[in-house]
């Protein structure tokens, strides 16, 4: 079997994404302040609108440019990429009459996944975890969603590219496009987010197999660091997915008029997926713990083998040391020293002793 590379198995993960943070300022509740990693790119506003016959996708420059879309009866999916522009978020909140506390949570990228129901809309916070194909680094992003009667607003930190397959599905729906309601679109976004966890866990499972193979064949100290990184990634994933299970469960049992009965069945399905992911994470955590036990056991066995070889060599040299010590003494009279063949007899005794000891060790299965 081809041995996998250790260096690419586990990469860094952004710890700041998992630590709740505040601005540190004594601002009143509801104050919108961006909390997260600063981005150089400006915010992008994209609108996907569709009716019974057609679908349109276009970018707008400002929040005021959304006004023409709001005057139509067609469904609007508004994607906001980049959360640094606090003034834009404030303007958007005023336009859609979004609660100030919800807008504050949208700007804080360290929020815990949760859901809030209001009379006019539903607010949902999700977390996506993906592994970059080239660098194998874990990227964690917050996805905030607001659904209303005929619109859905999604807020993304850096890019909405992970939802491009969803847009293609909407385009391919053809005459069934009117069935893509806000609550169904919310389900589809949650489904894609949970699917990203499956991909991440698959990558972790492959890393566990690679580490396990390496530990069995040639364990070394570098595996210890890989195992700790692996366990840390699993604990981070568990920290994110546990509350998302609660979010999906709340949406499944919600009696809000924006959630239809058919969509509740869909949420029930992905709720089962969330439970399955949690069970998988628990199993992988146990496996990663057993990897450390395997590492310690392999290192101990390797040390025992080394000590065994050294002990055997030491035992073989015991008769040599004894004979050399006896005939190296400075007594005046040693009869064997005057014998013509004493040197050859000495080496004959030494060789016979070594052969006899090797035979004894083999018989006892110590070698």
Q: Are residues 247 and 329 in the same domain?
A: no
Is 4 a residue whose pLDDT tops 50? no
Which runs of E-coded beta strand occur in 61-137? 75-81, 114-117, 122-131
Is 202 a residue whose pLDDT tops 50? yes
How many independent structural domains does the chain possess? 2
Cα(75)–Cα(55) distance, integer angstroms? 10
Where is the domain boundary, 277, 297, 317?
297
**First and final C-alpha spacing in the chain:** 28
Does residue 6 form part of some domain? no
Specify whether the CB–CB gap between 109 and 36 falls below 8 A.
yes
Is 120 a residue whose pLDDT tops 70? yes
CA separation (Å) from 346 to 313, 319, 326? 20, 11, 11
Q: Residue 267's pLDDT is what?
A: 92
Query: DSSP code of 108?
Result: B
Quick check: pTM over 0.85?
no
Band of pLDDT at residue 143, cut at 50, 70 and 90: very high
What's the average model confidence in pLDDT over 251-264? 90
Cα–chain center distance at 143: 17
Does residue 343 form part of some domain? yes
* CA triple 26-127-145, angle to 5 deg: 80
Q: Are residues 158 and 306 in the same domain?
A: no
Full DSSP string of 45-58: EEEEEE-SS-EEEE
Does residue 30 form part of some domain? yes
- Domain ranges, residue 37: 15-297
- pLDDT top residue among 49 and 135: 49
2 by DSSP, 3-state: which? Answer: coil
Does residue 9 form part of some domain? no
Is 1 a residue whose pLDDT tops 50? no
Own/partner contacts of 201-204, CB < 8 Å, gap of 24 or more, are 201/237, 201/277, 201/280, 201/281, 201/284, 203/131, 203/136, 204/230, 204/233, 204/234, 204/284
pLDDT tens per residue, range 295-349: 888 778 778 888 888 888 888 888 888 888 877 777 777 777 777 788 888 888 8
Residues near 26 by beta carbon (within 8 Å), at least 6 away in sequence: none
Specify whether the CB–CB gap between 40 and 5 falls below 8 A.
no
pLDDT tens per residue, range 63-96: 988 888 888 878 889 999 988 888 999 999 999 9
Q: Are residues 151 and 254 in the same domain?
A: yes
Which runs of E-coded beta strand occur in the chain? 44-50, 55-60, 75-81, 114-117, 122-131, 138-147, 151-156
Q: Are residues 116 and 197 in the same domain?
A: yes
Cα(7)–Cα(11) distance, integer angstroms? 8
Q: Residue 5's pLDDT is what?
A: 44
Across the chain, what does the average pLDDT equal? 82
> What is the C-alpha R_g of the chain?
34
């Amino acid at each position: 079997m081809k041995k996998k590379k250790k260096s690419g198995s586990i990469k860094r993960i952004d710890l700041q994404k998992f630590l709740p943070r505040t601005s540190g300022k004594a601002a009143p509740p509801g104050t919108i302040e961006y909390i997260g990693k600063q981005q150089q790119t400006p915010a992008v506003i994209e609108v996907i609108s569709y009716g019974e016959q057609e679908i349109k996708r276009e970018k707008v420059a400002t929040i005021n440019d959304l006004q023409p879309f709001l005057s139509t009866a067609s469904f609007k999916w508004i994607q906001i990429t980049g959360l640094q522009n606090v003034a834009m978020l404030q303007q958007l909140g005023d336009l859609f009459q979004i609660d100030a506390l919800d807008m504050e949570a949208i700007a804080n990228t360290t929020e815990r996944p949760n859901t809030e129901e209001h009379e006019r809309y539903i607010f949902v916070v999700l977390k996506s975890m993906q592994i970059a194909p080239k660098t194998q680094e874990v990227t964690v992003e917050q996805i905030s969603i607001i659904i209303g009667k005929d619109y859905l607003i999604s807020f993304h930190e850096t890019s909405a590219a992970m939802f491009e397959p969803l847009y293609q599905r909407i385009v391919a729906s053809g005459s069934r496009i009117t069935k893509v309601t806000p609550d169904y679109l919310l389900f589809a976004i949650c489904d894609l987010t949970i699917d990203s966890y499956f991909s991440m866990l698959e990558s972790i499972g492959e890393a566990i197999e690679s580490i396990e193979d390496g530990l069995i064949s040639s364990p070394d100290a570098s595996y210890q660091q890989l195992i700790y990184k692996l366990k840390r990634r699993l604990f981070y994933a568990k920290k994110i997915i546990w509350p998302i299970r609660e979010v999906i469960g709340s949406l499944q049992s919600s009696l809000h008029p924006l959630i239809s009965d058919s969509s509740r069945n869909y949420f029930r399905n992905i709720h089962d997926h969330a439970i399955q992911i949690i069970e998988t994470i628990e199993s992988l955590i146990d496996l990663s713990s057993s990897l450390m036990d395997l590492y310690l056991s392999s290192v101990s066995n390797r040390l025992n083998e080394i000590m065994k070889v050294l002990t055997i060599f030491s035992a073989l040299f015991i008769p040599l040391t004894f004979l050399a010590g006896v005939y190296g003494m400075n007594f005046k009279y040693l009869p064997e020293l005057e014998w013509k063949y004493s040197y050859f007899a000495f080496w004959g005794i030494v060789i016979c002793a070594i052969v006899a000891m090797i035979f004894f060790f083999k018989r006892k299965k110590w070698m």
